[in-house]
Amino acid sequence: MATCTRDGSWALLRVLGDLPGEIRVNEPLAPYTTFRIGGRAWAMFRPYGPEALAEAVVRARAHGFPWLVLGGGSKVLVPDQGFPGLVVLTSGLTGWHEEDDLLRVGAGAALPKVARHGLAKLAGIPGTVGGAVAMNAGTKYGAIADQVVWVRALLPSGRVHTFRPEECGFTYRDSLFRRVRLPVLEVGLRPVPGPAVEPLLAERRGSQPLNLPSAGCVFRNPTDAPPAGWLIDHAGLKGARIGDAVVSERHANFICNLGRARASDVLALVERIRARVEQLFGVWLTLELEVVGE
């Protein structure tokens, strides 16, 4: 593996240069995340199709480069020092169309747009369909796993496999694709009649701090205790701040970026929250947020 940023960047450019897509070296990652936090990647690649995405990951593996597939950048915290490897964007995989009673959706399609076509219970969740499947995104009305018919993802061998729902390992805010890092390429979803989207969006706007950069809910709700937001609120931590990272006054399970927050600020605040909640309630909060590199 290359040992410095410049060497790694140009080595990746040589490895990927013939693939259809756009490649940038030493690219800042903060603009690609909803948190607006994070350092630079050695290289960033935006493939023009799923085949190019798969080949980029295969080549990165073969040459010993760390790699990361990034969708809409929600639920992600990028370290201040950045990512010493390849970041592959799914933003070129946005195509989707209806086939009888099925929605065939590229991994990079925006979830808020797709939600209007039979996935209303997911209305307002940011990010992409691929990311939503990987983390089994959902609301109190249900999760995306409820409507998955199949998922096409890249295996470690480099082969593309179509997973049936029972093979996806869906659990609360998790899946096989997230646990063992299988990049999602395309998803088949079954649209269902549901509530109108606009009231759900209004509910979300009224209960969440959408005016500031964040990654959404930071912690998973415990299975045997009150929700994480309730625990943090009743621990007196609304408004708690380290640097420009602050616990939202509107929803205590959100950490917001007031403008210049660093990943180190967010992580320090996470540990303060965990320690206080454990001290008061005996509950250790598990991250829903994915910290890149951990």
Indicate which residues carry an active-site annotation: 173, 217, 288
CA distance 103 to 113: 12
CA distance 111 to 119: 9
Q: Evaluate whether 110 touches 116 at the Cβ level (below 8 Å).
A: no
Q: Which two tokens stand for residue 17?
A: 């240069």
CA distance 234 to 222: 15
Q: Evaluate whether 201 touches 123 at the Cβ level (below 8 Å).
A: yes
- Kindly report the number of other CB atoms within 10 A of residue 127's CB atom: 22
Alpha carbons within 13 angstroms on the beta-carbon side of residue 17 total 8
Sign of CA dihedral 259, 265, 271, 277: negative
Phi and psi at 29, nearest 5°, equal -95, -20
User: Left, alpha or beta for 236 (phi > 0: left; psi -120 to 50: alpha)?
Assistant: left
CA distance 176 to 167: 8
- Kindly report the number of other CB atoms within 10 A of residue 122's CB atom: 26
Q: Which two tokens stand for residue 134?
A: 């990987």
Q: Evaluate whether 262 touches 242 at the Cβ level (below 8 Å).
A: no
Q: Are strands 184-189 and 102-106 parallel, antiparallel or unpaired?
A: antiparallel
User: Left, alpha or beta for 100 (phi > 0: left; psi -120 to 50: alpha)?
Assistant: left
